[in-house]
Amino acid sequence: MLRRTNTLAMAAVLAASLAGCAGSSIRNPSAGAQGLEIVNSDALPTPTLADLSAAERPYRVGPFDVLNIDVFGSPELSQKEIQIDASGRITFPLIGTIEAAGMTPGEVSEAMQDRLRGRFIRNPQVTVNLKEIVSQTVTIGGEVKKAGVYPIVGRMTLLTALSSAEGWTEFSKKGSVVVLRTVADKQYAALYDVRAIESGRYPDPEIYSNDIVMVGDSQGRRLFKDFLSLTPLLAPVVYIFGQSN
């Protein structure tokens, strides 16, 4: 929790201070936010395997998610609420333990049917549905109407993430939206001008589990006015700011 709190605090600062690095000071990012290094990329690195980046990516369960499980024709095995444990496993009567983390609900169902088939039930039909999503979330903060932690189901983009938080406040700065992501123990920050996304000047970036989205505000711009430039963002700017602990 301490690490996440520190990252949120850093995100709040970056949402204000990185905007200056994207303008006239882009060749010397340390002039805006000390210790930052510009990455030669216009997009954050992807934290997941390539097959998970498909447009209609299915939800894959993770630790502490809650599943509703029904076995057709077996009342004693139906209407079960099972929470995935911290190691990604579930335990079910007759079946024992299944490594569920990383599976879709349909794949969990198939694994359970394989365990039951023949030994206990001739032709088992198992239905697995998500009841509560805990493992795959994005944190949205700063100047949005409803800051908080939101589940990611399927494909989420920056605009849909901001919509989940019910959009902008009167102090929001659409030109100072920061996405923070940790990949391979490195922390990255990307500065976006959402107005350019809305107008189609560059694509709406995908948001992944554990990302942090921070929306800058007018107060932040005043606090960091020495770092800011009036030059608009023509493309996203990606920074790396050290190793995670």
Number of domains in the chain: 2
| Mean pLDDT for all residues in the chain | 75
Of the listed ranges 31-35, 41-45, 106-110, 237-241, the least confidently predicted one is: 31-35
Task: Examine the pLDDT at 8 and tell me if it is beyond 80.
Answer: no
Cβ burial, residue 38 (10 Å; 0-12/13-18/19+)? middle
Asked if residue 89 lies in contact with residue 98, where contact means CB atoms within 8 angstroms, the answer is yes
The pLDDT score that the predictor gives to residue 30 is 33
Q: Are residues 174 and 78 in the same domain?
A: no
Reply yes or no on whether the pLDDT at 214 is more than 50.
yes
Query: Domain boundary at 132, 153, 179, which?
Result: 132
10 touches 33 (CB < 8 A): no
Is 203 within the bounds of a domain?
A: yes
* Judgement on whether residues 155 and 121 belong to the same structural domain of the protein: no
pLDDT of residue 135: 81
